[in-house]
Amino acid sequence: MKRIYLDNAATTNIDARVLAKMKSFLGASFGNPSSFHSMGKEADNAVEDARKSIANILGCRNFEILFCSGGTESDNMAILGAARANREHGNHLITTKIEHHAVLEPMEHLEKREGFKVSYIGVDKDGIVNPKDIEKALTKKTTLVSVMMANNEIGTIQPIAEIGRVILKWRKKNNTIFPLFHTDACQAAGALDMKVEKLHVDFLTLNASKIYGPKGAGILYARKGTEFEPIIFGGAQEVGKRPGTQNVAGIVGLAKALELSQKNKEKENKRLINLRDYFIGELIKIPGTRLNGDAEKRLPNNVNVSFLDIEGEAMILYLDAKGIFVSSGSACTSRTLDPSHVLMASGAGREAAHSSVRFTLGHDTTKADIDYVLKVLPGIVKKLREISPTKQKYDK
């Protein structure tokens, strides 16, 4: 049977060129970068070359790139680390209602256990944060603002540079270095510009497993001079901010993956946007189908729709049976049994959230793949609506 993978926002395959780069560090070149001998030096060189390559893409200094295990750890390092280190300056943090749990949960932890106050800023009905709402929430006690660059569920692109300018203006007016500004760029790293000076960010999170690199490798960009505490202890690696032997193969793979995806992004974005808009155009012809998230300010590979009267998990499994792999914001697939917080914050309503299906295209996705999905979907929609007691409203 055909296997059509449309869950590239969950994770991507590893690009063959990335894998080729990693191989020697999983084999003969297994040294520890901290060892004093030449095998150690060989590994250390690979890590430092990767750091340089990534710093070049972000337009920052090499030592501002810190390697870690991925997006979740990087988010935690920035949020827990910066909030705790700057505690004497204030206990107020700002984030949005549509962040990844890797941002929301450390925020909630600081709120519940460490006496911080967190403002969760809402989004408009298209899933976009208004920089003015961030501005209004700023106080003299605000030490950190964290806003994602692009949303993982509905793909909406947030105005990071604009928020960055709002923060710079506030700092200047109040003659302070606070708040610091963090962005989670995991979903955006393959499609958007990562230059930190243009984004005006102090911390940036990205990882390899969303950009055709390996799982278990990520970075935190931390601007020179920004105070943050490590969240784990036990060594001098990564200037003591993230101790532990580096994942050399993962780091090498991450650097190569970022290099490739940044180099090809204009061409690939154009191809994907064409494919995405064709797909969305055809999908919304199916009665009772709604697009979730802004139609234009969204990642080139993200399609998120609700098929009303059909619960998302049922749709996933019927598609799975046809060899099509997607995901949903339905409660049934969340393990917590809550529908997607992103769709709820965007005002989709619980019913539409339960019915949402996310298709995320990738480098290997072709028009023929999309046409296959469009061929099998109407039959599935018909069958699942036929057994749905709520359907009459939309069908006729």
What residues line the site for other proteins (CB under 8 A)?
309-314, 317-318, 321, 330-333, 335, 337, 339, 349-351, 354, 386-391
Instruction: Identify the residue whose tokens are 């209602």.
Output: 97
Q: Give the DSSP per-residue string, 121-148.
A: E---TTS---HHHHHHH--TTEEEEE--
Nearer to other proteins, 172 or 335 (CB): 335
What single-letter DSSP state applies at residue 61?
Answer: -
What single-letter DSSP state applies at residue 103?
Answer: H
CB of 186 to other proteins, least distance (A): 24
Q: Which of 220, 218, 174, 208 minimizes the C-alpha distance to 82?
A: 220
CB of 379 to other proteins, least distance (A): 13
Strands of the 142-146 sheet, one edge to the other: 65-68, 218-222, 203-207, 180-184, 142-146, 92-96, 117-121
Rounded to an integer, what distance in angstroms lies between the CA atom of residue 320 and that of residue 358? 13
**Kind of pairing, strands 356-360 and 302-307?**
antiparallel
User: Dihedral of CA 349/75/262/168: which sign?
Assistant: positive
CB of 350 to other proteins, least distance (A): 4
**Active-site annotation holds for 60:** no
CB of 246 to other proteins, least distance (A): 34
Rounded to an integer, what distance in angstroms lies between the CA atom of residue 293 and that of residue 304? 7
Rounded to an integer, what distance in angstroms lies between the CA atom of residue 320 and that of residue 314? 10
Nearer to other proteins, 58 or 315 (CB): 315
Q: In the beta sheet, which residues pair with residue 303?
A: 359
CB of 324 to other proteins, least distance (A): 15
Side chain identity at 251, as an amino acid letter?
Answer: I
CB of 152 to other proteins, least distance (A): 20
Rounded to an integer, what distance in angstroms lies between the CA atom of residue 182 and that of residue 237? 22
> Which one of 60, 68, 186, 332 is the catalytic residue?
332
Q: In the beta sheet, which residues pair with residue 96?
A: 121
**Residues recognised as catalytic:** 332
